Amino acid sequence: VGANLIGVNNRDLKTFKVSLETSVRLAKLLPAGTVAISESGIRSGYEVRKLKELGYQAVLIGESFITAGNPGDALKALLAEASSTERAYHATTCA
């Protein structure tokens, strides 16, 4: 592809439905050496951890922070959940 950065949009732009399965399905097609970003639909730290395990180096999160009562607290909670090792290995899918 020749790109240094690839974003995978989990939102269907025709229906606006969101499915993290898009990132799961496309992960194996991402070229080595590119920075892969999973975009939209990420709501939990466990999803972030699973996406990292699939090879994504970054996530784009908007709606879940915008709709949170306190976006800063929501970010702190998501990061704590993402770094937790206790339940992270029980997540088998992102959705």
Q: Are 7 and 60 in contact (CB under 8 A)?
A: yes
- 0.75 exceeded by pTM: yes
Q: Specify the pLDDT at position 1.
A: 60
pLDDT tens string, the chain, 95 residues long: the values are 678 999 999 999 999 999 999 999 999 999 999 999 999 999 999 999 999 999 999 999 988 999 999 999 999 999 999 988 555 444 433 44
* Measured distance CA(70)–CA(93) in Å, rounded: 27
- The residue type found at 94 is C
* 8 Å CB contact between 40 and 12: no
- Domains for the chain: give ranges and CATH numbers: 5-90 (3.20.20.70)
Residue 23: CA atoms inside 13 Å, Cβ hemisphere, count?
Answer: 33
